Chains A and B, each alone.
Chain A
Amino acid sequence: MRRWWVRGDRSGCRGGPAATELHWCHMSRLYRDEGVVLRTIKLGEADRIVTLLTQGHGRVRAVAKGIRKTTSKFGARLEPASRVALQCHRGRELDVVTQVETIEAHRVLREDYGLLTRAVPMLEAVDQVAPEREPAPALYRMLTGALRTLAQRRSPVVTPAFFWKLCSLEGFHPLLDACARCGTPAPEPGPDDGADPRALVAFDLDEGGTVCRSCARGGGRPCSPGALALLGRILGGGLNAALAEPPGPAVHEVEQLAVRALEHHVERRLRSAALL
């Protein structure tokens, strides 16, 4: 027996209010949603398990049957970073993908090694933090936006900015305008910063923010003023200006710090970050 729900009427369906417009399901537990492919792993002879971050169902793991065959109906649609509209059949642990349509293929990300090595760590990070079968609309919007920005602007700041925003979304918003250990506010920038003990010169992941010169003796990763300024722009509403930053030591520093911060937060290594 088949039941139909139109926009707004979601009774009896999992997925929350963010799921697709014409949402339908029936007794065989079919659902429709859109999502970004985070990773795929081989299964058996010709199948793959595809992990997606969906708009309405959070992180979903589903089997794409026969996808590795050249005649597969899925083709290249379920490759990492693709944004797709899909229909799945809900299973106990793994769902089964029944239909897929491409929304954004992000071909440029797949065909440029430099961009690919920046996109994959974002996908891995989301795979680590996204809740399974729980809608995470803010995370979904952030990921789709970051992939689109990376494809269009090719900025080296996209991935570290995404990591910092992800940390912030997860509740780890770093303190950047005062010492996270002693609470002393940062002094106004001036020519004698080199000697000022209140100047913020390091970042302490345990304390969750920048630390002043006096407190930095007790630990923390040294940070250049350029890197701290860039980090301030990323998290302080100046992301557009930060994305225009050319590759350089400050970007590299912020990137390394972002990877450490995220790894510290999820308590796991980000394997793909090694290729950044």
Chain B
Amino acid sequence: MAVYEGPVQQLIDELGRLPGIGPKSAQRIAFHLLKAAPEDAKRLARAIVEAKERVSWCRRCYNLAEGELCAFCRDERRDPHVLCIVEEPRDIVAIERTGEYRGRYHVLQGAISPIEGVGPEQLRIKELLARLPEEGVTEVILATNPNIEGEATAMYLARLLKPLGVRVTRIASGLPVGGDLEYADEVTLGRALEGRHEL
């Protein structure tokens, strides 16, 4: 129910459509913006408009990109024969922070979720299949989340990609560094034991 009039209510309604923002939070943010200096509000509005106008999906890997290709696809120094498959662009940031990977990426923009009705056809899988012969990919690293949706996606992709003669690998699961063994759950610890290596 509209409580405020005109632009104030419009602002609350628009903020309330954002993920994780309920009516109370929307109202609080709206009043913060109304109290803030006009330059601050304008800077926020400009940032939103500029991001929407300049940022789109990379036409090769579906990461966020300014222009046709993202920074990773433009970078000639990266190994084009290894592809790391992730669910969302923010997963690329996590992998890049490790400094261990020098290949390219492919963003699926989601994961198979039977219960949410998200099937393989709603992901960027067709585009991935087209990239493999085009770019001479020899290895695909499946770096989807280690939860039920991510595992389902990884299993589906492995079944799809193995017959194409590409090496398909899955990122390892195990114990977080700095954690205590006694708190590890059975599945994680079981996988850590399976993936043990000789020292």
Contact = CB atoms under 8 A, between A and B. Distances in A.
Interface in B87-124: 112, 114-117, 119
Given A75-B185, A76-B187, A113 B115 contact: no
Interface string A20-57: 00000000000000000001100010000000000000
Most buried by B among A81, A105, A113: A113
Nearest to B20: A44
Interface in B151-167: 151-152, 155-156, 159
A70 B116 CA distance: 24
B190 interface: yes
B179 A71 contact: yes
A80 B20 contact: no
Nearest to B189: A75
Contact of B183 (A39, A73, A76, A112): A73
A144 B54 CA distance: 51
A120 B155 CA distance: 15
B136 interface: no
B151 A111 contact: yes
B187 A107 contact: yes
B186 A102 contact: yes
Contact of B115 (A102, A105, A112, A272): A272
A40 B176 CA distance: 22
A70 B177 CA distance: 10
Interface string A54-86: 000000000000000011011111011100000
B44 interface: no
Contact of B148 (A70, A112, A116): A116
Given A113-B155, A271-B114, A77 B185 contact: yes
Most buried by A among B115, B155, B156: B115
A134 interface: no
Interface string A171-205: 00000000000000000000000000000000000
Contacts of B187: 75-77, 79, 102, 105, 107, 110
A116 B114 contact: yes
- What's the interface size class on A, roughly? 20 to 34
Nearest to B112: A275
B138 interface: no
B186 A105 contact: yes
A156 interface: no
A123 B117 CA distance: 14
Nearest to B120: A275
A71 B117 CA distance: 29
B125 to A, nearest CB: 14
A124 interface: yes
Contact of B185 (A76, A110, A113, A116): A76
A120 B186 contact: no
A274 interface: yes
Given A107-B187, A111-B151, A272-B117, 4 more contacts: A71-B176, A79-B147, A110-B187, A271-B116
25 contacts: A39-B115, A40-B147, A44-B20, A70-B176, A71-B178, A71-B179, A74-B185, A75-B184, A80-B115, A102-B185, A102-B186, A102-B187, A107-B190, A111-B155, A113-B152, A113-B155, A116-B148, A117-B152, A120-B114, A120-B115, A124-B115, A271-B114, A272-B115, A274-B117, A275-B114
Interface of A: 39-40, 44, 70-71, 73-77, 79-81, 102, 105, 107, 110-113, 116-117, 120-121, 123-124, 271-272, 274-275
